[in-house]
Amino acid sequence: MLDAGKLRHRITIIQPDSEQDSDTGEMETMWSTLATVWGSWEPLSVKDFIASASVQNNISVRSVIRYRSGILPNFRVRKNSVDYEIVGPPLPDKDSGREYLTLMLAEVIDE
């Protein structure tokens, strides 16, 4: 069972949209808000960071949100005006698979 008290951070899930630049005709990726949800926000400990380094060396945060369908690995999470990419597929809870999702996140460095 998910402790609702841990879901005390407001995070925004954003999704990519393609838009054509009117000057160059080039397709650009724009980000639009899909949803703003409550979630946990846990920077990885040194132990977690070292363990993840062998697989994905840029994962820095783990976030847990209530289950919602339609979240894809190419979406991002925004918290305090900082964007984080979702690394890998959202991980469902081990019991029902429909109570919560765990998102492994890496800060987006350049855009």
Q: Is 80 left (phi over 0), alpha (psi -120 to 50) or beta?
A: left
Does 43 fall in a domain?
Answer: yes
Task: Give the number of domains in the chain.
Answer: 1
CATH of the domain at 74: 2.40.10.270
Does 5 fall in a domain?
Answer: no
Q: State which residues form the domain around 76.
A: 11-107
Does 33 fall in a domain?
Answer: yes
Does 1 fall in a domain?
Answer: no
The Cα–Cα gap between 17 and 55 comes to 29
Q: pLDDT, tens digit, for every residue of 42-94? A: 998 765 555 555 555 578 899 999 999 999 999 999 999 999 999 999 999 99
Structure tokens belonging to residue 20: 């054509």
The Cα–Cα gap between 108 and 111 comes to 8
Residue 25: pLDDT band with limits 50, 70, 90: confident
The Cα–Cα gap between 63 and 104 comes to 7
Residue 35: pLDDT band with limits 50, 70, 90: very high
